[in-house]
Chains A and B, each alone.
Chain A
């Protein structure tokens, strides 16, 4: 099904492998791939990423800009004039939506990953899917208007929910974690309102995807993303792909049992990690304080030097480290990226976390996983939702084999069950070593 606003390339001939024309064809595809993958790039960066010579890049960009696939804008890079290359905005817009327990974030981006507009909305506890999706609709329209685009230009929507999502159905797999959204076919509900394909995934998976593709885990093919916010979740990057598990609950580290005799968790089990480091557990460490103690309040207090807040954050770091040691023994990531609201505490959280992780994980000769703070901050999930939508709807500058095809409705079950297709067609990495030759 073709989507309005995208350009489908004529199928070109590659009958003569190694010929001059097929070489140029391959180089063009390489450049377009790089732009879809990394978003907006300058010509110099393009040359570095693709391994093509600056002259080749310049020629191809000029040619593609003339045919309307790319747009060039003058910019400056390290003080020098440069040409910034993006996919032409007519290639369509993509919306990323992140629904967490107390907040909703929206980003409107073009197919070049360039975020054009963002919105944020605080939410009530136990917000309900129907009314929030109505508001999302209005916010999407507002964002599209703000960039001078009609709502018709939106090609796809990626949604991240604060609960495990079954990759086969797109419905929340575990009830009780995002109560107002349980059993709601979010993709279909939003699709009925927008008439565009909608793809749903777990928030931590999307955070992992964003940090892997454009953040702190770039190029690390074995990585984990830990989101410490209202709840705790992890997204796993295994061999450069997001690993979702059989029913979507892979990486639900927040519900790892740490204390058999602990408190009952909102998931129904006892002594989960979340009963120790979830937002409400941390807030309970501040008895007698007035009002709701939010995670941001704790971080702000700790920044201001409040000893109790610092200790609470350090303890949370220790618990997280123990849980991560288990995760590290199981999937053995090279790098663990910590994101979510509590990660704003920085080293106050990370150094006790590293310490506990090193103490409990299996020692390897090469040393344990590296623990770093996320680079994308609170935007990781919503950016991940954008990337997810771009991948799933296969909105790309289009090589013949991925001539635009959209998968309507829930994520297609046929794409590598278990390992959801982040790049169902392409290989995710463009290695500069391959030089300018077609692979």
Chain B
């Protein structure tokens, strides 16, 4: 099943690549020319202020909204994600902030909701066994899989939601604000879980406002600001202040300067190209 049988995925392969993603809602340009690469065995944090476009971007990945422009390639092949089923088929699992668990059902029922095992009758025994297996692999501290989710703590619910996302053997797990509503102890649980997913060779996209959490578990930080890319950092060589500067737009650092230089040179070549374009026809004129 999901995690047990999956061999250690090769680390560091480019799984999903987004190029020049645009999205608008009527007159509102939500995303402009967004690039994002997702590698296996890596935690990439997507950070930005409210309204920066983080949620819109993951909704494109989850198949909630199709993008208006740009390309998505999966393992080098261009794909289109038009609905959640497409996203699922590409191995993308999304855990939303509200977790979307059924409070009145027990842990097993929640994990297998919609994918129940067994043909004529539901194979409860097998489902329970697999649930224990999965939760044990995640070192989850859940007292029983036969208690309603309503009686679990915030961290335990988050764990159940993440475990449920793993049922379909995903390659990419997207976590939207997994620690936002949790206390310190439960946050610790979720952060450990993220490390565990990374060790399994899964790609994790983490959306968070908490820089301490991001810096603790992420390998790479992608900053969005007002619907555009505003810097990409390796956690190993960036300070807290740099990230905040990029989020708020107060940054004047190497990354933004380099990006600016790239834009400038692109403009220059474009200008040169248009210049030759206008000249060429002249010569060809009889």
**Interfacial residues, chain A to chain B (CB-CB below 8 A):** 102, 119-127, 131, 135, 138-139, 142-143, 280, 283, 289-292, 296-297, 300-301, 304
B99 interfacial contact with A, CB 8 Å: no
Query: B220 interface residue, CB < 8 Å from A?
Result: yes
Residues of B near A280 (CB, < 8 A) are: 236
Given A122-B192, A138-B184, residue A301 in contact with residue B11 (CB < 8 A):
yes
- On whether the beta carbons of B235 and A292 are closer than 8 Å, the reply is yes
A291-B215 in contact given A121-B188, A125-B236 (Cβ < 8 Å):
no
Contact check, A122 vs B217: say whether CB atoms are below 8 A apart: yes
Interface of A, secondary structure class, is mixed
Residues on the B chain within 8 Å of A126, using CB: 239
Q: How far is the CA of A120 from the CA of B41 in the complex (A)?
A: 21
Q: B185 near A: Cβ within 8 Å? A: yes
Q: Which residues of A contact B220 (CB under 8 A)?
A: 290-291
State in angstroms the CA–CA spacing of A122 and B204 once bound together: 16
- Chain B interface residue count, CB cutoff 8 Å, equals 30
Report yes or no: B8 in contact with A304, Cβ–Cβ below 8 A.
Answer: yes
What is the minimal beta-carbon distance from A118 to any residue of chain B, in angstroms?
10
CA distance A142 to B153 in the complex (A): 12
Is the C-beta of B195 less than 8 angstroms from some C-beta in chain A?
yes
Check B254 for interface membership: any CB of A closer than 8 A.
no
- Assuming the contacts A121-B191, A124-B212, asked whether A291 and B41 have C-beta atoms less than 8 A apart, the reply is yes
- B211 contacts which chain A residues (CB < 8 A)? 124
Instruction: List 5 interface pairs A-B (beta carbons < 8 Å), by A numbering.
Output: A124-B216, A138-B183, A138-B184, A291-B12, A296-B199
Contacts A126-B239, A296-B199 aside, 10 further interface pairs with beta carbons under 8 A come to A119-B188, A121-B187, A125-B236, A138-B184, A142-B184, A290-B220, A291-B39, A291-B234, A297-B11, A301-B11
Q: Give chain A residues whose Cβ lies under 8 Å from the Cβ of B39.
A: 290-291
Asked if A125 contacts B235 (CB within 8 A), the reply is yes
Given A292-B235, A301-B11, A139 contacting B185 (CB threshold 8 A): yes
Please give, as numbers and ranges, the residues of chain A lying within 8 Å of B185 by CB-CB distance: 119, 138-139, 142-143
Q: Contacting B212 at CB < 8 Å: which of A119, A131, A142, A292? A: A131
Q: Which residue of B lies closest to A104 (CB)?
A: B188
Report B's interface with A, CB cutoff 8 A: 8, 11-12, 14, 39, 41-43, 183-185, 187-188, 191-192, 195, 199, 211-212, 214-217, 219-220, 234-236, 239-240
| B-side contacts of A121, CB under 8 Å | 184, 187-188, 191-192, 216
Is the beta-carbon distance between A289 and B215 smaller than 8 angstroms?
no
| B192: chain A residues within 8 A (beta carbon) | 120-122
Looking at the assembled complex, report how far the CB atom of A292 sits from the nearest CB atom of chain B, in whole angstroms.
4
Residues of A with C-beta under 8 A to B219: 290-292
Chain B residues within 8 Å of A291, by CB: 12, 39, 41-43, 219-220, 234
In the assembled complex, how far is the CB of residue A100 from the closest CB belonging to chain B, in whole angstroms? Answer: 12
- What's the nearest-Cβ distance from chain B to residue A108, in Å? 12
Tell me the nearest residue of chain B to A142, going by C-beta: B185
The distance from the CB of A23 to the nearest CB of chain B, in whole angstroms, is 48
Determine whether the beta carbon of B199 is less than 8 Å from that of A300. yes
CA distance A280 to B235 in the complex (A): 13
Contacts of A123 in B (CB 8 A): 216
- Residue of B184, B195, B234 touching A135 (CB-CB under 8 A): B184
Q: In the docked arrangement, what's the CA distance between A124 and B240, Å?
A: 10
With a cutoff of 8 Å between Cβ atoms, the chain A residues found around residue B235 in the complex are 125, 292
The closest CB in chain B to the CB of A291 belongs to B219
- Residue contact A120 to B212, C-beta cutoff 8 Å: no
For the complex formed, measure the closest distance between the CB of B72 and the CB atoms of chain A, giving whole angstroms. Answer: 19
Q: How far is the CA of A304 from the CA of B10 in the complex (A)?
A: 10
Q: Is the CB of B41 within 8 A of A139?
A: no
Are B11 and A120 closer than 8 Å at their CB atoms? Answer: no
* B8 contacts A300, C-beta separation under 8 Å: yes
Is A290 a contact of B184 with CB atoms below 8 Å?
no
Q: In the assembly, what is the distance between CA of A124 and CA of B219, in Å?
A: 11
Chain B residues in 8 Å Cβ range of A290 = 11-12, 14, 39, 41-42, 219-220
Q: What are the residues of chain B within 8 A of A297 when measuring CB–CB?
A: 11, 41, 199
From A125, which residue of chain B is reached at the shortest CB distance? B215
Neighbouring A residues of B199 by C-beta, 8 Å: 296-297, 300
In the complex the two chains form, is B12's CB within 8 Å of A122's CB?
A: no
Residue among A122, A126, A296 with max Cβ neighbours from chain B (10 Å) = A122
Q: In the docked arrangement, what's the CA distance between A292 and B236, Å?
A: 7
CA–CA, A386 and B234, complex, Å = 36
Minimum distance in angstroms from B102 CB to a CB of chain A: 27
Residues in A with CB closer than 8 Å to B195 are: 122
Q: Which residue of A lies closest to B184 (CB)?
A: A138
Q: How far is the CB of A397 from chain B (nearest CB, A)?
A: 31
- In Å, the complex CA distance between A138 and B183 comes to 9
Q: What distance in Å separates the Cβ of A117 from its nearest Cβ neighbour in chain B?
A: 10
Whole-angstrom distance between the Cβ of A146 and the nearest chain B Cβ: 8
Cross-chain contact A139 with B188 (CB below 8 angstroms):
yes
Query: Measured between alpha carbons, how far is A124 from B191 in the docked complex, in Å?
Result: 11
What is the bound-complex CA distance between A283 and B235, given in angstroms?
Answer: 14
Residue of A nearest to B44 (CB): A291
